[in-house]
Amino acid sequence: MGRILGIIGGGQLGMMIAEAAKKMPKEISKVIVLDPTENCPASQAGAEQIVADFKDKSAILQLAKESDIITYEIESGDSEVLKSVQGIAEIEPSPETLYIIQDKFLQKSFLSDNNIPVPEFVKISSIMDLKEKLKDFGYPVLLKARRDAYDGRGNFKIDNEKQVQNAYEYFNGQNLMLEKFVPFRMEVSVIAARNTKGQIKTFPLVENIHEENILRETLAPARVSADISKKAEEIASKTMSVLKGAGVFGIEMFVTQENNILINEIAPRVHNSGHHTLQSSTTSQFEQHLRAILGLELGETKLEHPTVMYNILGPKSFEGRYKPIELSESHVYLKMYGKQISKPLRKLGHVNLVGNNGETLEKILEKLELIKKKISVQQG
């Protein structure tokens, strides 16, 4: 008999997990998602839905009662509530792992205690404390909210003394940390998996290009030397072995000017920079996540073809309905998330451009320029 899978969050990540689950009917008989938006993307992919806030205790309890195993597509869940339902359903990754990761200061402390390289960082407890610590750190630095940040909204870059007061007030009393600004050469990430039995596998290193703090393109593989890729993948494996959580994790890193690798942050879930695996690998990150939490042997992670993933974001010019986007091109895979309403910079879908016949990343990037025009989001 297959198991019933509960997912906290039914956005595009939950949707693609639900789609992967459909292909494993022997292991997973049903998917239920908890999401506040009626008709959320995952429910459109056939998952049952409990309509409630991600942090609604009684809804999480209901999800636990109706599921055999619970996972999540967002890291802002309440780890205490998850811990309290652990006896009712299995929770993967574990609430203990989530607790460490969802606080950026705890996460970085944990990594540095395990000799995993991160940018220099320190906890901040008051404006006086900040001013004191800036004497050591110098400028530029990033002041970061420890919790609940996304799309860069929890970061404030401080370039000089004049900005200190503003930066501190921006956060309105939230718990904070300070971090050295890294003038990185490239942003990269590794999608890593650890199954419940301790087996670990990593997908090859990819390169991430952000615009306004939002991921815009992922290039697989990253345009770095084999040495750098190997180093990053080893750091990712080591991270998975100390973290001990089961599931797929997105590990975001910087390549410094000196070609060192520093971890920026870990997402305890499938990650936007792993969407290319839907076409570039024999195992997608979504299937890998299910294999990991179910304790199955992890799938092959080799990159079969160089691939570029491009996010389709809502334009800044309007909020509302948009015209359907269609595309029919060989080796180009369009995936829309079924969101009715476009909002500025909202993730509406993505395309994967897969290299064939030895096409290089450079050739694929040229092709992307033509594709971009065909998939621009128009008010409708």
Helices (H) and strands (E) in the chain, counts: 12, 20
Rounded distance between C-alpha atoms, residue 293 and residue 248, angstroms:
9
Of 117 and 152, the one with the shorter C-beta distance to ligand ATP is: 152
From the list 142, 261, 270, 298, which residue makes contact with ligand ATP (rule: CB under 6 A)?
142
Q: Kindly state the smallest distance separating residue 252's Cβ from Mg ion, in Å.
A: 5
Q: Does 213 bind ligand ATP (CB under 6 A)?
A: yes
Distances (CA, A) of 198 to 110, 133, 195, 287: 19, 40, 5, 17
Of 60 and 142, the one with the shorter C-beta distance to Mg ion is: 142
Which partner, Mg ion, ligand ATP, none, binds residue 303 by CB below 5 to 8 Å per kind? none
Rounded distance between C-alpha atoms, residue 45 and residue 152, angstroms:
29
Q: Kindly state the smallest distance separating residue 149's Cβ from ligand ATP, in Å.
A: 4
Size of the residue set binding Mg ion (CB under 5 A):
1
Stretch that binds ligand ATP, among 13-21, 91-99, 148-156, 371-379 (CB under 6 A): 148-156
Dihedral over Cα of 8, 11, 12, 16: its sign:
positive
Binding to ligand ATP by CB under 6 A, coded x per residue (else -) over 223-262, reads -----------------------------x----------
Q: Kindly state the smallest distance separating residue 306's Cβ from Mg ion, in Å.
A: 24
Q: Kindly state the smallest distance separating residue 215's Cβ from Mg ion, in Å.
A: 9
Residue reference for tokens 């992967």: 20
Which partner, ligand ATP, Mg ion, none, binds residue 210 by CB below 5 to 8 Å per kind? ligand ATP
Of 189 and 352, the one with the shorter C-beta distance to ligand ATP is: 189
Size of the residue set binding ligand ATP (CB under 6 A):
18
281, 306 contact by CB (below 8 A): no
Q: Kindly state the smallest distance separating residue 265's Cβ from Mg ion, in Å.
A: 5
Q: How many CB atoms lie within 10 A of CB 290?
A: 24
Closest CA to 345 of 289, 272, 250, 292: 272
19, 286 contact by CB (below 8 A): yes
54, 71 contact by CB (below 8 A): no
Scan residues 264-323 and list those touching ligand ATP (CB under 6 A).
264-265
Distances (CA, A) of 133 to 13, 141, 289: 39, 11, 40
Of 150 and 321, the one with the shorter C-beta distance to ligand ATP is: 150
Residue reference for tokens 């460490």: 100
Q: Which two tokens stand for residue 46?
A: 């056939």
Residues contributing to the site for Mg ion (CB under 5 A): 265
Residues contributing to the site for ligand ATP (CB under 6 A): 119, 142, 149-155, 179, 181-182, 187, 210, 213, 252, 264-265
